[in-house]
C-alpha cells in the first residue's frame, strides 16, 4: 500500500479563495515530493516570461516526505518562485521547526497566487486555514512580527515565517525568516512575498506525520545515526558549527577576502569558531530531529542571541575586512530583523566598497562616515548601509537591486560583477576548487553553494552506490570533475525533494539508508536508480524553464574576476578551466552546445 504524500493547499490572495487538492501518483513516484513536486507545478503553471512581481507568479512553500518523521536531519522546507534577482526559477530553503509543523498540519505544498489589496498573513492551525489582516504588522521587523503574531493568536507555540522591511520594500535579495533565527536566504523570495502583500505565514499543529511502515522508518533512522558517528565532518560541525569553516578552510583558499581580491588576511583568526569559543559559552541548538545541532547561541548585551553562521562571518566579515566579532554578532541580528540575505548583502557591499576605494563612482563619503583611509573594515559606515538598502534610501535603492544591476547602472567594470545568473557568488572561492567552480556555473538557481561537491576533494560527501568513493583533485580538469559534480547535483536534488538537511547528506557516504527511510514513509519501492533519476528529472525541469527565460551557455558562469589568479593563499594561482569542464558537463547531461537539454 502506498501512502499519499502530496496534499496541496492553494490560496489566491486576490480572490481570497482557498482550495485543496491531491497530486498524481506518477509525479510523486518520479519526483519524490516536496521541492520536486513544487518544481513540477511551478514549471507547468508559470509563464517563463512573467514579471516576478506579477500576481500570477506562484510562491510555493513545500515540505518533503522526511519532514516530521524519525529520519534525522528532516527539518527543511523549500520556497519556489520566479526570482526577482535572477529572473529565472528561484529557490530558498531553511530549517528550524517551521517545515515539521507545516507538514504536521496536513499540507505538503502551500501554493500562493495573486496579490492582496492590503497586508495579510496566513494562519494554518491543524489544517484550518485563515487569511488574516496584517496591517498592524506591516513595517515591523521579523522579530517583533513573530512575537506580535503569537500575541494576537494567543499561542506562543506558533511557528512563524515572515518578511521584514526589506521584503516589504521589494529588495531583490530579501529573505524570509522563520523560527526567529532561521533564514530562507537566497533568490529574493522575501521580495516575492512582499509583492503579494503577504507579511507572514503562521503554523501550528498538534498532529503527527503519518508513515506507512514505522519499523522500517525507525530502522533506517537508527542506521543513519550509527553512520553519523563515523563522520569526521559531522563531529566537527557538531562541535563548532559552520563557523569552523573559517578556521579549517582558510588555508586552502576557500574563504572570501576583500571582495574576492585577496588570498590572505591577518584578521581571519578573530572571527572563526575558535574566536567564538574563546569569547565565551556557546549554547548548542538544533533544528527538528537533528542529531548534530550545528547552530549556537552566544551571550550579547545580556541576552542569548543566535551566533552568525559561516556565510555571514565571511561575507560581512572577511569579505569586508571586518574582524570585530562583536560587530558581526550585532550585524547578524540587524540583518535578520530587516530580512536581508547576508550573502547577497555582503557581495553588494563589497562591490560598493571597492567602487568607492577605486573612485569608480561618485559618493559623498561624509554621508556614511567613510574617509578615503577608512573604507574597508569601517564598521559604523558599513552598518548604515543595511537600513539604507532595506528601506531603499539614497544609494541603497541601487544596491537593493543586486550586484549585477548595480554594476550595470553605475557602468562599473565587468570584473566587479560577480554572480551566477544574477545570484551573488557565496563565501566559497571558486578558484580554490574546480568542482565548486563548475557547480556554481551550472546549478539551476545560480551561484548556489549548499551541495558542495568540493568536499569530495577531502574524502567527504562521498556516495558509495553511485561510484563516488575516491578523492577528486580540487584542481582536476578531467571527466571525473564533471561526473562528480553531476552526481552530487542529482543526488542532492533528490534528497532535497525528500526534505532533508544537506549537512546530513554530506556526513553520510551511503544513499541506501535514506532510500530505505523514504520507502518506509511512503510505502513505495524506490531504488538507487529511481532516486538518481528523480534528481536528474528535477534538474532537467529547472533547466528547461530557465532556458525559456533566456538562459544560455554564456550565463553558466560566475564572473570575470575569477579568471585572474590570486597571487597568495591556498587557491595556488588556480584559474578554473570552466570552458572545458562545461563541455564535458553538457555532454554527460546530453545537453546541446548552448546548454539546452536535448
Report the distance separating Cα 514 and Cα 223, nearest Å: 9
Residues with pLDDT less than 50, the chain: none
Q: Grid coordinates representing 379?
A: 564598521
464 and 345 in a common domain? no
440 and 404 co-located in one domain: no
The answer on 111 and 67 residing in a single domain is yes
pLDDT value of residue 5: 59
Do 75 and 67 touch, CB atoms closer than 8 A?
Answer: yes
Which of 165, 162, 138 has its CA nearest to residue 388? 165
pLDDT in tens, 177-225: 999 999 999 999 999 999 999 999 999 999 999 999 999 999 999 999 9
Candidates 539, 514, 536; CA nearest to 526 is 514
Nearest to 318 by CA among 346, 359, 355, 282: 346
Q: Is residue 80 part of a domain?
A: yes
How wide is the angle at C-alpha 69 spanned by C-alphas 459 and 5, nearest 5°?
105
Q: What is the pLDDT of residues 387-400, one digit of tens each?
A: 999 999 999 999 99
Domains: count for the chain: 3
Residues 64 and 99 in one domain: yes
The reply to whether 316 falls in a domain is yes
Q: Do 264 and 301 belong to one domain?
A: yes
Could you tell me if 58 and 89 lie in one domain? yes
C-alpha separations of 478 from 219, 335, 575, 580, 581 in Å: 39, 41, 15, 9, 8
Is residue 152 in some structural domain?
yes
pTM of the model: 0.97
**Domain interval for residue 84:** 7-204
Question: Residues 406, 440: one domain?
Answer: no
Amino acid at each position: 500500500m502506498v501512502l499519499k504524500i502530496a496534499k496541496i493547499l492553494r490560496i489566491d490572495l486576490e480572490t481570497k479563495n482557498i482550495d485543496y487538492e491531491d497530486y498524481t501518483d506518477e509525479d510523486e513516484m518520479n519526483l519524490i515530493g516536496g521541492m520536486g513536486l513544487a518544481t513540477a507545478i511551478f514549471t507547468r503553471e508559470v509563464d517563463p516570461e512573467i514579471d516576478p512581481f506579477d500576481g500570477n507568479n506562484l510562491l510555493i512553500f513545500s515540505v518533503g516526505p522526511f519532514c516530521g518523521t524519525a529520519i534525522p536531519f528532516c527539518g527543511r522546507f523549500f520556497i519556489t518562485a520566479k526570482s526577482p534577482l535572477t529572473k529565472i526559477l528561484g529557490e530558498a530553503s531553511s530549517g528550524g521547526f517551521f517545515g515539521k509543523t507545516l507538514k504536521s498540519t496536513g499540507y505538503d505544498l502551500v501554493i500562493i497566487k495573486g496579490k492582496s489589496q492590503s497586508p495579510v498573513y496566513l494562519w494554518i492551525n491543524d489544517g484550518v486555514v485563515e487569511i488574516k489582516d496584517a496591517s498592524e504588522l506591516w513595517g515591523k521587523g521579523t522579530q517583533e512580527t513573530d512575537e506580535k503574531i503569537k500575541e494576537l493568536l494567543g499561542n506562543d507555540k506558533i511557528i512563524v515565517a515572515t518578511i521584514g522591511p526589506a521584503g516589504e520594500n521589494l529588495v531583490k535579495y530579501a529573505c524570509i525568516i522563520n523560527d526567529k533565527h532561521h533564514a530562507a536566504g537566497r533568490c529574493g523570495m522575501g521580495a516575492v512575498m512582499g509583492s503579494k502583500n503577504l507579511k507572514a505565514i503562521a503554523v501550528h499543529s498538534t498532529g503527527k506525520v503519518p508513515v506507512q511502515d514505522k519499523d522500517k522508518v525507525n530502522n533506517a533512522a537508527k542506521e543513519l545515526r550509527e553512520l553519523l558517528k563515523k563522520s569526521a565532518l559531522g563531529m566537527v560541525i557538531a562541535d563548532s558549527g559552520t563557523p569552523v569553516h573559517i578556521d579549517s578552510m582558510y588555508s586552502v583558499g576557500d574563504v572570501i577576502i576583500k571582495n574576492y581580491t585577496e588570498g590572505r588576511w591577518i584578521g581571519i583568526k578573530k572571527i572563526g569558531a575558535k574566536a567564538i569559543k574563546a569569547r565565551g559559552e556557546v549554547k548548542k541548538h538544533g533544528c527538528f530531529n537533528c542529531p548534530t545541532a550545528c547552530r549556537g547561541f552566544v551571550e550579547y548585551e545580556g541576552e542569548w542571541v543566535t551566533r552568525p553562521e559561516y556565510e555571514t562571518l565571511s561575507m560581512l566579515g572577511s569579505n569586508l575586512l571586518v574582524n570585530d566579532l562583536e560587530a558581526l554578532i550585532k550585524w547578524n541580528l540587524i540583518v535578520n530583523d530587516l530580512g536581508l540575505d547576508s550573502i547577497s548583502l555582503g557581495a553588494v557591499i563589497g562591490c560598493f566598497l571597492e567602487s568607492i576605494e577605486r573612485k569608480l563612482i561618485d559618493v559623498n563619503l561624509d554621508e556614511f562616515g567613510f574617509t578615503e583611509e577608512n573604507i574597508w573594515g569601517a564598521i559604523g559606515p558599513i552598518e548604515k548601509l543595511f537600513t539604507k538598502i532595506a528601506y531603499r534610501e539614497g544609494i541603497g535603492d541601487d544596491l537593493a537591486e543586486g550586484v549585477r544591476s548595480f554594476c550595470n547602472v553605475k557602468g562599473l567594470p565587468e570584473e566587479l560583477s560577480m554572480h551566477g545568473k544574477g545570484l551573488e557568488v557565496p563565501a566559497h572561492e571558486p578558484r580554490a576548487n574546480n568542482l565548486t567552480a563548475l557547480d556554481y556555473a551550472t546549478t539551476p538557481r545560480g551561484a548556489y553553494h549548499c551541495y558542495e561537491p568540493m568536499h569530495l576533494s577531502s574524502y567527504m560527501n562521498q556516495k558509495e552506490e553511485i561510484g563516488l568513493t575516491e578523492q577528486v583533485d580540487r584542481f582536476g580538469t578531467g571527466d571525473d570533475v564533471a561526473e562528480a559534480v553531476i552526481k552530487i547535483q542529482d543526488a542532492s536534488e533528490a534528497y532535497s525533494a525528500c526534505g532533508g538537511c544537506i549537512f546530513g547528506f554530506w556526513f553520510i557516504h551511503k544513499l541506501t539508508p535514506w532510500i530505505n527511510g523514504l520507502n518506509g514513509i511512503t510505502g513505495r519501492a524506490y531504488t538507487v536508480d529511481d532516486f538518481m533519476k528523480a534528481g536528474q528529472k528535477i534538474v532537467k525541469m529547472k533547466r528547461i524553464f530557465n532556458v525559456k527565460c533566456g538562459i544560455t551557455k554564456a550565463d553558466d558562469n560566475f564572473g570575470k574576476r575569477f579568471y585572474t589568479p590570486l597571487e597568495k593563499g591556498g587557491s595556488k594561482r588556480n584559474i578554473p578551466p570552466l570552458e572545458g569542464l562545461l563541455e564535458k558537463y553538457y555532454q554527460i547531461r546530453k545537453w546541446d552546445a548552448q546548454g539546452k537539454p536535448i
